[in-house]
Structure 1
Amino acid sequence: MKNLKKSHNPSKILVIGFATFILIGTFLLTLPIATESDESLPFLDALFTATSAMCVTGLVVVDTGDTFSTFGEIVILTLIQLGGLGFMTFATFFFTVLGKKISLKDRLLLKEAFNASSTENIAILVKRILIFTALTESMGAIILAIRFSFDMPVKQAIYYGIFHAISMFNNAGFDIMGEFKSLTLYADDPTVVLTVCTLILLGGLGFIVINELYEYRQIKRLSVHAKIVLSTTLILVVGAAIFIFLFEYGNDKTLGPLSPVGKILGALFHSVSPRTAGANTLAMGDLTHATLFLTIFLMFIGGGSGSTAGGIKLSTFAVLMVTAFSQLQGKEDVVIFRHRIVVGTILKALTVVMSGLMIVVTVTFLLSITEHGHAFIMYLFEATSAFGTVGLSMGLTPELSPIGRIFIIVTMFIGRLGPLTLGFAISQKRRKEAFQRPKGNIMIG
């Protein structure tokens, strides 16, 4: 019985599932048909790209638009969609279409993948997620395709619209503009900037929150979790946009040359994108150190739980911030939106943050050993971007040594699955000790 239970462990199945699709994607990307030159891509480059796509990160060692053929780009897009929504979402959809019942094991996997509170109505949630995703990506693709059609042939514009809509909604950050340009050509274009920002934010809120917003017209209330995610998102986006606007206003290499509207759009985009999307309209290497530090902070936080985004998650950050303020004010209880937060939730949040910090610090340290000739902030930036599955880079990614690429591959994988598996592990039934040990008084501060 123990072996059976272990084999049905949701954490293990999620890890194996993601790893399997990464290996399949790696194999497909090494085929000559996957590249423009009809030459096989080196295995490590293919593994890096497949991992980045499946973990919806966006870090690349070779330029996506210049290196891969249409076949290769479709493989990457498929991995992005699978990684963003989760392979169990699609499996559930096909089971439903075939008329098969969803087993308890599958329900537990879906519950874990979306960070849902229970398995009740999980099949309905999956159906709504797929419909919402299809509608959102379709609308984004149409708007982007129309805008791109002014700059390129219609067929190419449609393809570019579809690719970037799926990539941005899933917070992957992959683009096919070529020459590592990302969306810098559209830095002051309201249509592109606002459409992409909307796709990123909708993908990063979390499907549980989206579902609550959909049901709001009937139940007329939101959970504490939804309120935390929505309010924290608003604060971070607006606050970061204001700071970036001030930091970069006089920078001749970023916001300086843009029109007043372009400056606002540039600041807004770079307050949204670090929330694990990875696209950029301004050259990352030209940003001020203040903006880079703020970007690292935003990348570490990430998006909402159960979303296409990574990071430690908005709710984790909010819980710890409110806890700190409560302690400073001498309050015994931690209260958010008139609800008391239990100690167990605070401990989980602390565990996730400390684990994330240890990962980022360790990877930064390793990169500083294996990579040479770069500023320290580039190592910290790269490690945080990989852990938060963001995809922004100051230009270090293509220059990484083989061992450095392996470190980033592992970090992306941990960043995408770590919070999920860790969250599941610490959510299990706690074992109580047979007896209580004496209390130890420790001086803090």
Structure 2
Amino acid sequence: MTEKIKAFFRNPVRIIPMGFIGFILAGSGLLMLPVAQAEPGGTRYVDALFTSTSAVAVTGLITVDTPVHWSPFGQFVILLCIQVGGLGIMTSAVLLGLLVSKRLGLRTRLMTRAEHSTALHLGDLRSVLLLTVAFTAIVEVVTAVVLAIRFATYGFGGYSVWLGVFHSISAFNNAGFALFSDSVMSYATDPWISLPICAAAILGGLGMPVVFEMTRRGWGHRKWSLHTKMTLFGSAVLLIGGWFAFLLFEWSNPETFGQWAWYDRLIPAFFQSAVARTSGFNSIDVGALSEDSLLATIILMFIGGGSASTAGGIKVTTFFVLLWVIWAEVRGEPEVNAFRHRINPSVIREALSVALVYVACNALTVFLLQRFEPDVELTPLMFEAASALATVGQSTGITYDLHDPSKWLLTVAMFVGRVGPVLFAASLALRVRHRLYRYPEGRPLVG
């Protein structure tokens, strides 16, 4: 029995989810303590577990008002869960990548290194982990200082330091928790609050492989690997495209951008585009968005951020690999090429598998939410499901009123969305097998 237990925990695909579950349970236990609650009446365990899962999974969905329900101790527990969850996600993703490369044969690793000159190896372990911690600390400290100084101008006094630290850590880890009941809607047009939060969220959503390569090789697209090129190019396209889409769809909406002068609409639109793929902050009323904007947000949430980052979704590289596959098929090309690199067929299969599993999880979550919430319209339920599985954390406002079965469902969805796709992709890579025989070719009709 002991050997079976050791064998069970020796597999990294099992260890990492167990670690996250342990942190979630510990966080929920601390949030159940009377000292963690600011409101009388205590906290129901479903709400404590939901909040802890949302924090460790760096999502941002809440069933109770963070600044009202939780005491300073409770807020500190949430912040600790966010930091542990964010660092755990980035470091575990790096470790999984190294473990995957270690399991590959010598010939495969040499081929990989030839095609990707920046492939991580075991010698990079220490430097990557140190860079992860250092980069996290630098971004969070700089963002916290800027936010604290700005909050101080609003008359918060010494409390502005806590506001700066909390929102900085929440932004970089793409958690979306805020110490204001309306998130940051009161500061929607303030560039000294909106833009630092955007910058921290974008940097946190790039992924440590990209940061590691850029610090080691410097600037210049000719020095970057295909992964870095795709991540930076895809993130820029989605960021700018989302910015213009929200300006187009919400320009005349009096409940969102229409309430401001034309020049004051630019920052909130950029903010919404930046956080829609990553964190759950909102500077406008998400429930007042048009159907077009809600659909655009769902698409951005589904895509998510960079691999090995704190952002969720299927990841930018997965989405653009599939786009290049479609483009190659339309043009009738036998191979899929991007940025003068040939994409390995195994990567295409992994991208298809991750995307289809994600679609299936979203469909199942929406189906169950409809059963549990028959009085809620379909669009808000689709939005809520996509937000939970993509660990974004934005909501149209229905989270507070959900029934307990829906809260349990979204708790599972946040956990699966956080660790599921990464481990699923890793499990595909770890189970590489080479057959010594081939079946006869068949061509079923497609389309």
Q: TM-score, with normalisation over the residues of structure 2?
A: 0.92
Post-superposition offset of 1:8: 1.1
Q: Deviations over 1:276-315 (max 9, x none)?
A: 2010001001111101000000000000000011110000
Of residues 159, 162, 183 in structure 1, which corresponds to 2:165?
A: 162
Counterparts of 2:262 and 2:165 in 1: how far apart (Å)?
30
Of residues 388, 394, 397 in structure 2, which corresponds to 1:395?
A: 397
**Conservation of the 8 A alpha-carbon contact between 1:53 and 1:76:** yes
Counterparts of 1:107 and 1:346 in 2: how far apart (Å)?
20
- 2:218 alignment partner, SS class: helix
Counterparts of 2:346 and 2:98 in 1: how far apart (Å)?
24
Q: Deviations over 1:381-405 (max 9, x none)?
A: 0000000000000011111111100
In the TM superposition, 1:414-433 aligns within 5 A as 414-433=416-435
Q: Which residue of 1 aligns with 2:44?
A: 42
CA spacing shift, 1:66–1:2, aligned 2, 3 Å: closer
**Conservation of the 8 A alpha-carbon contact between 1:188 and 1:261:** no
Q: Which residue of 2 aligns with 1:183?
A: 184
Amino acid in the other structure paired with 1:271: S
**Conservation of the 8 A alpha-carbon contact between 1:254 and 1:283:** yes
**Conservation of the 8 A alpha-carbon contact between 2:176 and 2:393:** yes
Of residues 244, 251, 254 in structure 1, which corresponds to 2:253?
A: 251
Q: Which residue of 2 aligns with 1:193?
A: 194
Counterparts of 2:91 and 2:315 in 1: how far apart (Å)?
21
Q: Which residue of 1 aligns with 2:206?
A: 205
Q: Deviations over 1:76-113 (max 9, x none)?
A: 000000111107959x9xxxxxxxxxxx999649999x
In the TM superposition, 1:63-102 aligns within 5 A as 63-86=65-88, 89=91
Q: Deviations over 1:143-202 (max 9, x none)?
A: 111111122322111100100000000000000112xx0110011111111111101000
**Conservation of the 8 A alpha-carbon contact between 2:366 and 2:385:** yes
Counterparts of 2:60 and 2:265 in 1: how far apart (Å)?
25
Amino acid in the other structure paired with 1:71: F
Please say which of residues 426-435 and 153-162 is displaced more in the overlay.
426-435
Please say which of residues 200-209 and 80-89 is displaced more in the overlay.
80-89
Counterparts of 1:363 and 1:120 in 2: how far apart (Å)?
41
Counterparts of 1:117 and 1:326 in 2: how far apart (Å)?
28
Post-superposition offset of 1:2: 7.3
Structure 2 residues not aligned, in runs of 5+: 104-117
Of residues 280, 302, 305 in structure 2, which corresponds to 1:300?
A: 302
Q: TM-score, with normalisation over the residues of structure 1?
A: 0.92
Q: Which residue of 2 aligns with 1:56?
A: 58
CA spacing shift, 1:186–1:88, aligned 2, 3 Å: closer
Count of residues paired in the alignment = 429
Of residues 337, 352, 355 in structure 1, which corresponds to 2:354?
A: 352
CA spacing shift, 1:74–1:106, aligned 2, 3 Å: farther
Q: Identity, % of aligned pairs? A: 38
Amino acid in the other structure paired with 2:202: L
Counterparts of 2:246 and 2:407 in 1: how far apart (Å)?
30
**Conservation of the 8 A alpha-carbon contact between 1:32 and 1:38:** no
Post-superposition offset of 1:216: 2.3
Counterparts of 2:9 and 2:147 in 1: how far apart (Å)?
44
- 1:14 alignment partner, SS class: helix
Structure 1 residues not aligned, in runs of 5+: 93-103
Q: Which residue of 2 aligns with 1:229?
A: 231
- 1:273 alignment partner, SS class: helix
Post-superposition offset of 1:436: 2.6
Q: Which residue of 2 aligns with 1:95?
A: none
**Conservation of the 8 A alpha-carbon contact between 1:296 and 1:381:** yes
Counterparts of 1:291 and 1:231 in 2: how far apart (Å)?
23
Counterparts of 1:105 and 1:142 in 2: how far apart (Å)?
34
Post-superposition offset of 1:432: 3.5
In the TM superposition, 1:267-346 aligns within 5 A as 267-346=269-348
**Conservation of the 8 A alpha-carbon contact between 1:301 and 1:313:** yes
Q: Deviations over 1:54-90 (max 9, x none)?
A: 0000000001111100100000000000111107959
Counterparts of 1:275 and 1:105 in 2: how far apart (Å)?
23
Counterparts of 2:324 and 2:293 in 1: how far apart (Å)?
25
CA spacing shift, 1:331–1:2, aligned 2, 3 Å: farther
Q: Which residue of 2 aligns with 1:216?
A: 217
**Conservation of the 8 A alpha-carbon contact between 1:172 and 1:277:** yes
Q: Which residue of 1 aligns with 2:142?
A: 139
- 1:205 alignment partner, SS class: coil
Post-superposition offset of 1:275: 1.1
**Conservation of the 8 A alpha-carbon contact between 1:148 and 1:160:** yes
CA spacing shift, 1:89–1:324, aligned 2, 3 Å: closer
**Conservation of the 8 A alpha-carbon contact between 2:89 and 2:308:** no
Q: Which residue of 2 aligns with 1:382?
A: 384
CA spacing shift, 1:189–1:106, aligned 2, 3 Å: closer
Post-superposition offset of 1:117: 4.1
